[in-house]
Amino acid sequence: MSSIPLDIDTLPYFNPNVDRRVAIITGGNSGIGFYTVLHLYLHGYVVYIASRSKSRCLKSINELEYRASQMRLLGQGSNPQQHSFNEAAGTNANSEVSQRSVGEVHYLEMDLSNLQSIVNAVETFKLKERYLHLLINNAGAMALPYTKTVDDFEIQLQTNFISPFLLTLKLLPILERTSDTFPDIEPRPRVIYLSSFGHQFAFRYFNLKTVLDYRPNFILTWIRYGVAKTAGIHFIKMLALRNPKVLCISVHPGLIMNTNVFAYWTNLPIVGIIFWCLFQIFAWVFGVSSEQGALEVIRCSLNPRLSVEENNGKYFGSNGKELQPSKVANDMDYAARTWIWTVHELSKRGFVIPGA
């Protein structure tokens, strides 16, 4: 089934005092991630926000808890600003909702530009939780100048693909254990990967070995971004093929233009003003808000009608519609090469994944 309910109120709520549901989301302290965490929290989930900055994350958690309490108290959203949020998010804090117990939100230290940090975070999580029901690979990097990480990967490739690959495979045994322990659980344990229209920028000839450190950087940065996001779709398709116990899907949340992902370009001297104007115009014509983008993620995360048998490895877009990614992203031969290359590169750096 490729249709997903549009009304977020139809998605299941779990009383955390009775049914503990656990989620991890990367980059959940801002943008789409913030609103995704907010809705998971309101639906009773215990959410771990994986982030570099503890101070920013804790500040975000305080704001999130405040917003959640206001939404539950305001009923139909009598506050104009709150009403605007409720209308965008599709959540009305009616009397039933106001009586619900909310979940929990915790900080999990993780830096996607450092692979060892990911391994450490997984070990920390395993000391706190035995089960994991939902992993959302939300964090990403876009339109950055060519930079190498401490692990000697291009920054966009590592943040948007290599790190989610390693994180997911390290957490996969816990996701599978959850599926085995609770065979009738709904929604099924799942992995969500936030994709982007930008994956279309990848070359028709797809090759992760290509350095792409040339001028003009403003053009090449988008191609590097497209390659990374295409590789992410490849990963989800291969993971779905190899691990049928967990539902793995890619989600395109829409063109989110009002985040800080373009900060590098808008902060450039003189030309930064031009870039800022262009991004604002593009956002006004084509963009959607972070709240709206988060709804697409929540629908795919919580909808019990999505099944491993019918939906594993698929790609969803706005209003929960199944989409077809680019030909390169949809090519399973490329996907297999992406998997093999990534496992090899991680192994070279001492990150061995049994069975991968």
What type of residue sits at position 154? E
Q: What residues are labeled active site?
A: 195, 225, 229
Measured from the Cβ of residue 18, the count of other Cβ atoms closer than 10 Å reads 8
Q: Are both 62 and 141 inside the same structural domain? A: yes
Distance (Å, whole) CA 156 – CA 8? 32
92 pLDDT more than 60: no
- DSSP code of residue 169: H
> What is residue 88's predicted lDDT score, i.e. its pLDDT?
42
279 and 176 fall within a common domain: no
- DSSP-derived secondary structure letter, 190: E
Helix residue ranges, H only, the chain? 31-42, 54-73, 80-89, 95-98, 115-128, 155-157, 163-181, 217-242, 263-266, 271-286, 290-302, 308-311, 327-330, 332-348
Which whole number is the average pLDDT over 301-320?
91
Regarding whether 335 and 212 lie in a shared domain, the answer is yes
Backbone angles phi, psi at 178, to 5 degrees: -60, -45
**Percent of the chain whose pLDDT exceeds 90:** 60
- Residues 164 and 307 occupy one common structural domain: yes
- CB count within 10 Å of CB 52 equals 16
pLDDT tens string 17-42: 999 999 999 999 988 999 999 999 99
* Predicted confidence band of residue 94 (pLDDT cuts 50, 70, 90): low
Q: Check pLDDT > 60 for residue 54.
A: yes
**In whole angstroms, what is the distance from residue 139 CA to residue 150 CA?**
18
Least confident of 18-32, 144-158, 188-202, 245-259: 245-259
Q: Which pLDDT value is given to residue 125?
A: 98
**Residue 329, class by beta-carbon neighbours within 10 Å (0-12 exposed, 13-18 middle, 19+ buried)?**
buried
Tell me the pairing of strands 315-316 and 322-323.
Answer: antiparallel
Q: Does a structural domain hold residue 86?
A: no
Cα separation, 108 vs 47, whole angstroms: 10
In this structure, what CATH number is given to the domain that contains residue 335?
A: 3.40.50.720
What is the rounded CA–CA span in Å between residue 202 and residue 311?
Answer: 25
Show Cβ contacts of residue 269 under 8 Å, excluding neighbours closer than 6 positions: none
For residues 105 and 301, give the distance between their C-alpha atoms in angstroms, rounded to a whole number. Answer: 17
The partner residues of 108 in beta bridges, in order of sequence, read 50
**264 shares a domain with 156:** no
30 and 155 together in one domain: yes
Question: Is residue 247 located within the same domain as residue 261?
Answer: no
Residue 51 forms part of a structural domain: yes
Burial class (CB in 10 A: 0-12, 13-18, 19+), 352: exposed
- Whether pLDDT at 84 is above 50: no
Apex 290 CA angle, 289 and 292, nearest 5: 65
The model's pTM: 0.87
pLDDT of res. 238? 97
Torsion of CA 81, 4, 331, 189, to 10 degrees: 90
The tokens 């950087």 sit on which residue? Answer: 217
Look at residue 89 and tell me whether its pLDDT is greater than 50. no
Number of structural domains found in the chain: 2
pLDDT tens for 96-113 read 666 778 999 999 999 999
Mean per-residue pLDDT for 269-283? 66
Higher-pLDDT residue of 263, 233: 233
264 and 194 within one domain: no
| Average pLDDT over the chain, rounded to an integer | 85
Residue 113 lies in a domain: yes
Structure tokens at 213: 């450190």
- Can you read off the two tokens belonging to residue 152? 């000697």
Number of neighbours of residue 343 by Cβ within 10 angstroms: 16
Residue ranges making up the domain that contains 263: 256-287
